[in-house]
Structure 1
Amino acid sequence: MIAELVSSALGLALYLNTLSADFCYDDSRAIKTNQDLLPETPWTHIFYNDFWGTLLTHSGSHKSYRPLCTLSFRLNHAIGGLNPWSYHLVNILLHATVTGLFTSFSKILLGDGYWTFMAGLMFASHPIHTEAVAGIVGRADVGASLFFLLSLLCYIKHCSTRGYSARTWGWFLGTGLCAGCSMLWKEQGVTVLAVSAVYDVFVFHRLKMKQILPTLYKVSDCWHWSIGLLSTLLAWSFFTI
């Protein structure tokens, strides 16, 4: 738990200077001129428009469907208007939370020791995150990462309690719900389904390539893989309508 707290604190501290920053680049279109953030606009419009507030069926739509991220912007707008301080604060808190979750995931792979601690610190401070955290529209990436990791951690719990108990199905349901939320923050969240499958095969079961196909044909595993495949197909159909 110490590694998670220290890593999260570092992630928080490194971006505190962005609290004094203004809106920049795409922030203006996604926030300042986005009609979906205004109180007079029905909040349900978020689910019919793209990330920039254009109707999805419009020929000029970007087709980027991220309603949960837009909803978070709307809540920011309802609380603090167009004061960029509150938007940056949410981004920083999300980054700190994601850092803690990543450190927890690292602990599963690397154990509770030096390398997990280093992984958390490196994740918190890596410059690749700068644009996503400092730029307000980058919240789509940070929010998707939050639910991506929650989905993956739920699936890991599901693997460790696999069977037919309510607890097992609860973790599996949590996996699906968090995966869905990740996709609704940003489209790339769908990849958590593939990452979960890779974890199941190569980490949990420790299978080699030549062992994979025979395992998939086992009757006891059919329900598991069928549900995973169905979820993937439904998600793909939803985002390509």
Structure 2
Amino acid sequence: MPKRRSAKPNRPPRLDRAWVWALIIGLVGALLYAPTLRFGFIGYDDTLLITQNQEFLSRLSNIGRAFLQGAWRVPGFDGGNIYYRPVYTLSFMFDSQFDGSNPLAFHVSNVVQHGIVSGLVFALLAAMGNTRPVAAVGALFFAVHPTFVHVVAWVPGRADSLLAIFALTSVLALALLQRSAQVSDARKRVLLLAHWILFALALFTK
């Protein structure tokens, strides 16, 4: 009598995994703006926020101070606390650790952030119940739409990308929480905590 083969679970094809779709879309969004890596700093905002502010940005000991003052309280211009964006300032501080006078690190960050946002748009659309092809079309439309050129190509425009990263992940955590009826209470608490932390980071960004 022939032995019965044990049934093996059907694994989804690799390209059908949501994270692969998100990664591909993120790469498309990033590669589209790869030419901006050759760009330099331009005009008023770049000069005041970055190049003339290196004494502050280059020192990690100033991380706490970033939460105590506005983004535009910089040498040569005292904008007071009108624009309270500490996470935005911290992103410039991070890039300045590589070479504050070299725009490459800043443009790399902008391009990477746009890629992340593009992938997150897909993830959120899929989490809302759309099929993966539909979510992919929506995310690709976002990734290539020219409305967002200044957000990626212009270094100070990253506030919108950073805001989108935290806002989208916050909503995504909430969407996963709503669909987690069969998961443990511990995971639900983690998702809820992640939602509020990411929401707070979004508020601290813009």
Q: What's the TM-score, normalizing by structure 2? A: 0.81
1:126 partner amino acid: H
Aligned equivalent of 2:158, options 126, 129, 139: 139
Structure 2 unaligned spans of 5+:
1-17
Which residue of structure 2 lines up, in the alignment, with residue 17 of structure 1?
35
* Mean CA deviation greater in 174-183 or 162-171: 162-171
2:164 partner amino acid: S
Structure 1 residue matching 2:50: 3-state secondary structure:
helix
Which residue of structure 2 lines up, in the alignment, with residue 160 of structure 1?
179
Which residue of structure 2 lines up, in the alignment, with residue 223 of structure 1?
none
- 2:80 maps to 1:61: yes
* Mean CA deviation greater in 12-21 or 161-170: 161-170
**1: CA distance, partners of 2:64 / 2:202:** 19
CA apart distance, 1:28: 1.4
Structure 1 ranges of 4+ moved more than 6 A: none
* Mean CA deviation greater in 128-137 or 155-164: 155-164
Which residue of structure 1 lines up, in the alignment, with residue 131 of structure 2?
112
CA apart distance, 1:97: 0.7
**2: CA distance, partners of 1:116 / 1:174:** 23
Q: Percent identity among equivalent residues?
A: 27
Deviations 1:50-98 (A, max 9, x none): 112359xxx8425111111111111211212210011000110011011
Matches within 5 A, 1:3-152: 3-25=21-43, 26-34=45-53, 35-39=55-59, 42-54=62-74, 60-61=79-80, 63-109=82-128, 111-152=130-171
The answer to which structure has the higher helix fraction is 1
Structure 1 residues 92 and 40 mapped into 2: Cα distance closer, same or farther (>3 Å)?
closer
CA apart distance, 1:48: 1.5
Q: What's the TM-score, normalizing by structure 1? A: 0.70
- Aligned-residue CA RMSD in angstroms? 2.4
Structure 1 unaligned spans of 5+:
187-241
* Mean CA deviation greater in 21-30 or 149-158: 21-30
How many aligned positions are there?
184
1:39 partner amino acid: R
